Amino acid sequence: MSNYPIPEKLIYQGVESFGTPLWLYDRGTIEERIRELQVFDAVRYAQKANSNLSILSLMKKMGVVVDAVSAGEIYRALKAGYRGGATKKTPEIVYTADIFDADALALVKEHQIAVNIGSPDMIPQLAEAGIKTELTLRVNPGFGHGHSRKTNTGGDLSKHGVWFEQIKDCMKLAQANGMWISGLHMHIGSGADFEHLSKVTEAMREAARHLGSHIRMISTGGGFPIPYRESEEGNRIDINAYYKLWDDTRKQIAQSVGHSVSLEVEPGRYLVAESGLLVSKIRAIKTMGENKFYIVDAGFTDLVRPAFYGSYHKISILPQGSSVLGEDSDVIVAGPLCESGDVFTQEEGGYVVSRKLPEAKVNDLLVLHDTGAYGAAMSSNYNSRRLAAEVLYSKGELHLIRKRQTFEQMTENDRIVGL
């Protein structure tokens, strides 16, 4: 894990040009992660991790196809240059969700978007909308695992996917409505470890028996962890070993049905997380009892993961001007929001903890690392805070890929009515 994926001088340049808080992404890191996974027949990016149009455009340039979980994500994919076409061997866009809303159903119909069914009720709803197409099925294998209980997407307490015992029912439902199921997808959770991810292969083989000769594709899902802590760097997931495990599974299924079966992988976090930095500025340093706080101008409106999951992000300090960093001490890092939970150094359950950080001064930069996934994508306007700018570092230069939101943009859809 390098200290910064972007040269320090350009981090300072980005702050000078675009202010703070600021998202910075390194193109080279994203491309490196994509290349690691291109051993699979198709790499399908879970764009919910980071759906900036420039990021999507880069994915397309690298031959990556996309997953969309909402009408808005279908729209973004189309705007980035992806095209519909559910009958393609490898659809450029697949809609994966547990429901259709009106907007999603309309876009699926208009652009012939491939659908990965997450609930049996979606099948007759497609037919009612006049859509008859080849389908894939997201299967809940009956177990799940993730870095947090909130990211576990399998088992009987998860809302996601079709319960594994209902595969045959879905096949009959599809046939009754003039459709057929030709692919299977399993995703047990985000940030799962190799041991748990590996268990899915047996569940996939069992599920594939129901489809028989109809099966054309299997998807391993995503959920690959990244080493957020420096101590985890040596435990990075072995992509080649993971691929071999699934390739063996695919070959066993193909042998049983007598024809080839394609193998997809669906990463989100793994492709973009390590590319990203959230750069903030220390605006206050204060002591509360025996605790020292650095209060920065980024909050959970920018990066919600620590408040939501108790997630860990490496933190570093970049001094401004003539400022010199002092010795490390225990520090709590918090944001400016009117919420006690607006703390970047906390564990799951809301337990506030301190971090060893250098003695800093007001206006020094505080950087949160590995924030390219589920950072800007989960930002909000809570406390009427503007969405931060996003910048891509590419070929030695910084490129603004989303302007900082203005106050006018934040309020333009509000209406004052006479009461």
List the CATH number of the domain containing 163: 3.20.20.10
Do 92 and 209 belong together in one domain? yes
pLDDT at 151: 45
Is 153 part of any domain?
yes
Q: Domain tally for the chain? A: 2
pLDDT at 189: 61
Q: Residue range 212-239: average pLDDT?
A: 89
Q: Residue range 122-130: average pLDDT?
A: 97
Residue 371 CB partners (closer than 8 Å, separation 6+): 23, 273, 276, 277, 278, 303, 305, 313
Is 4 part of any domain?
no
pLDDT at 315: 98
Do 171 and 209 belong together in one domain? yes
Question: Which has the minimum average pLDDT: 49-53, 218-222, 368-372?
Answer: 218-222
CA pair distance 83, 92, nearest whole angstrom: 6
Do 245 and 331 belong together in one domain? no
- Active site members: 338
Token couple for 39: 């051993």
Do 211 and 95 belong together in one domain? yes
Do 281 and 351 belong together in one domain? yes
pLDDT at 200: 83
Over 70: is that where the pLDDT of 2 sits? no
CA pair distance 392, 185, nearest whole angstrom: 32
Is 35 part of any domain?
no
Is 172 part of any domain?
yes
Please give the mean pLDDT across all residues of the chain: 92
Do 152 and 111 belong together in one domain? yes
pLDDT at 336: 98
Q: Which helix (H) or strand (E) holds 330?
A: strand 328-334
CATH number at residue 396: 2.40.37.10
Is 253 part of any domain?
yes
Q: Are 57 and 81 in contact (CB under 8 A)?
A: yes
Which pTM value belongs to this model?
A: 0.94
Query: For 376, which DSSP code?
Result: G
Token couple for 198: 């590996």
Q: What is the pLDDT of residues 331-389, one digit of tens each?
A: 999 999 999 999 999 998 899 999 999 999 999 999 999 999 999 999 999 999 999 99
Over 80: is that where the pLDDT of 259 sits? yes
Do 210 and 283 belong together in one domain? no
pLDDT at 197: 65
Do 365 and 222 belong together in one domain? no
pLDDT at 261: 97
pLDDT at 150: 44
Q: What is the DSSP string of 162-214?
A: EEGGGHHHHHHHHHHTT-EEEEEE---BTT--HHHHHHHHHHHHHHHHHHGGG
Q: What is the pLDDT of residues 262-295, one digit of tens each?
A: 999 999 999 999 999 999 999 999 999 999 999 9
Task: Say if strands 217-219 and 389-394 run parallel, antiparallel, or are unpaired.
Answer: unpaired
Question: Which has the minimum average pLDDT: 80-94, 254-268, 302-316, 321-335?
Answer: 80-94
The residue type at 346: Q
CA pair distance 88, 229, nearest whole angstrom: 41
Over 60: is that where the pLDDT of 190 sits? no
Do 122 and 236 belong together in one domain? yes
Vertex 82, ends 78 and 87: CA angle to 5°? Answer: 110
pLDDT at 57: 98
Token couple for 19: 């202010």
- Torsion on CA atoms 340, 341, 347, 352, rounded to nearest 10: -10
pLDDT range class, residue 255, cuts 50, 70, 90: very high
Of all residues in the chain, the percent with pLDDT exceeding 70 is: 94
Q: Residue range 316-326: average pLDDT?
A: 92
Is 59 part of any domain?
no
Q: What is the DSSP string of 382-398?
A: GGGPPPPEEEEEETTEE
Do 282 and 154 belong together in one domain? no
pLDDT at 159: 84
Most confident of 3-7, 144-148, 206-210, 334-338: 334-338
Q: Are 377 and 390 in contact (CB under 8 A)?
A: no
Question: Which residue from 65, 62, 58 is spatially nearest to 394, judged by alpha carbons?
Answer: 58
Residue 326 CB partners (closer than 8 Å, separation 6+): 358, 359, 360
Q: Residue range 188-206: average pLDDT?
A: 73
CA pair distance 229, 312, nearest whole angstrom: 7
Vertex 129, ends 45 and 221: CA angle to 5°? Answer: 20
SS3 at position 295:
strand
Token couple for 399: 């490129």
Please tell me the number of Cα atoms within 13 Å of 79 on its side-chain side. 12
Q: Are 137 and 184 in contact (CB under 8 A)?
A: yes
Final residue of a domain: which of 202, 233, 267? 267
Over 90: is that where the pLDDT of 319 sits? yes
Over 60: is that where the pLDDT of 82 sits? yes
Supply the range of the domain harboring residue 107. 83-267
CA pair distance 230, 393, nearest whole angstrom: 23
Do 230 and 369 belong together in one domain? no
* Residue with more model confidence, 268 or 201: 268
Do 238 and 311 belong together in one domain? no
Q: Give the torsion sign (CA, 305, 368, 223, 95).
A: positive
Of all residues in the chain, the percent with pLDDT exceeding 90 is: 81
pLDDT range class, residue 322, cuts 50, 70, 90: confident
Final residue of a domain: which of 249, 267, 285? 267
Final residue of a domain: which of 251, 267, 283? 267
Is 133 part of any domain?
yes
Is 65 part of any domain?
no
Q: Residue range 171-191: average pLDDT?
A: 88
Q: Are 59 and 34 in contact (CB under 8 A)?
A: yes
How far CA 409 is from CA of 256, 308, 355, 381, 413, in Å, comes to: 57, 27, 36, 11, 8
